[in-house]
Structure 1
């Protein structure tokens, strides 16, 4: 079994997240892609939507994808969870032969600041999602998913533009947005 872990705040879920999932399923020989919304990113102070709102939106958006699982592992911890902990838990739970770990180019650029990054790199094969505006020529010997959709959750939160939100959750995002 081959799995990919794709974690994040998903605050809110947007069309680039959907595209990343589709590209990962098309490019990697995956049995499952596991989406892991954070309770709170260890490098952030807050999130706009609550953990349960983000979990709901992610679950609703991907409910019809048979190879996509939304994990509530980090949210159920009710605290910030480091990636290494989630990786080890999911590997123990699914017992995959191969585990990919999907991160964005923005996170790749600060990977050296992550907790136990060497252990992470020993546990998984890194997959970097390329993004306009980030140094995309530095990924020698690293798998990449070329998505390059010009949207970020940070920018989306500043000015909620529903054209970047998947249709099946637009009404929910409007309802949850404070």
Structure 2
């Protein structure tokens, strides 16, 4: 029996842009995933920046995804009280899909470098595999605590990773690297500069319709 392959791709999506969405599509293709849960974080870590409500970010995410096969705008962190720890979100997904499902948490290289400082980082591997979207321009050595955390976990291919439900680490390079920053998008919106071709048209239209992000 072939087990389901499911990924969690978290973010503030403030707002969702084409880089987020293209990465999700390419992850799904590369890992042959059944579903990618794009999980909107409840509280953005940014300060001093223009913000919209979590509900509005989720609505923009849903608009951006549209009818894209296999992508889901997941509200579970917005519905949970208290801090939104990734381990708790993975535990919820694990309960939903069962003990044998192949569950993945995908994260970017910058987040990966800080992984040892996360809440219960070892629990992440108990619940899921980690797939790191590599930065080809990054050559510096990994922090010592991170090296210890991932010791013996790294594999060199997708099928090897999915021999077990969880516990592995795979680094991948996605074919399309869209250097789009949500921070830059917000600054462009606030300054009146165009964001055409940075956002899905439906997201751009809703932002202007609701006058989101348009005030410094």
Q: Which residue of 2 aligns with 1:162?
A: 195
Question: How far 1:133 moved relative to its partner?
Answer: 5.3
Q: In 1, distance between residues paired with 2:18 and 2:136?
A: 15
CA distance in 1, matches of 2:140, 2:64: 29
Does the 8 Å contact 2:77/2:84 carry over to 1?
yes
Q: Shift of the alpha carbon at 1:158?
A: 2.9
Q: Structure 1: give runs of 5+ residues left out of the alignment.
A: none
CA RMSD, aligned part only?
2.5
Q: Please say if 1:122 is aligned against 2:156.
A: no
Conserved? CA contact 1:57–1:172, under 8 Å: yes
2:110 is matched with 106
Aligned to 1:172, the other structure's residue is in SS state: helix
Q: Within the alignment, does 1:88 sit opposite 2:91 as a pair?
A: yes
The answer for the alignment partner of 2:53 in structure 1 is 50
CA distance in 1, matches of 2:186, 2:85: 24
Distance 1:109 1:155, change over 3 A: farther
Q: Partners in 2 of 1:70 and 1:63 — Cα distance?
A: 9
How far residue 45 of structure 1 moved from its aligned partner, in angstroms, is 5.3
Q: Which runs of 5+ in 2 are unaligned?
A: 143-149, 156-169
Contact between 1:5 and 1:101, CA under 8 Å: does it hold in 2?
yes
* Structure 2 length-normalised TM: 0.72
TM-score normalised by structure 1 residue count: 0.86
Higher relative contact order (CA 8 A, sep 6+): 1
Deviates more, 1:132-141 or 1:8-17: 132-141
**1:10 aligned to which of 13, 33, 47:** 13
Contact kept? 1:7, 1:35, Cα under 8 Å: yes
Corresponding residue for 1:26? Answer: 29
For residue 38 of structure 2, the aligned residue among 28, 35, 40 is 35
Distance verdict in 2 for CA 1:74–1:46, change over 3 Å: farther
Moved more, 95-104 or 147-156: 147-156
The Cα offsets for residues 105-150 of structure 1, whole Å up to 9 and x where unpaired, read as 1211211111011110222111122346544997964231424321
- 1:171 is aligned to 205
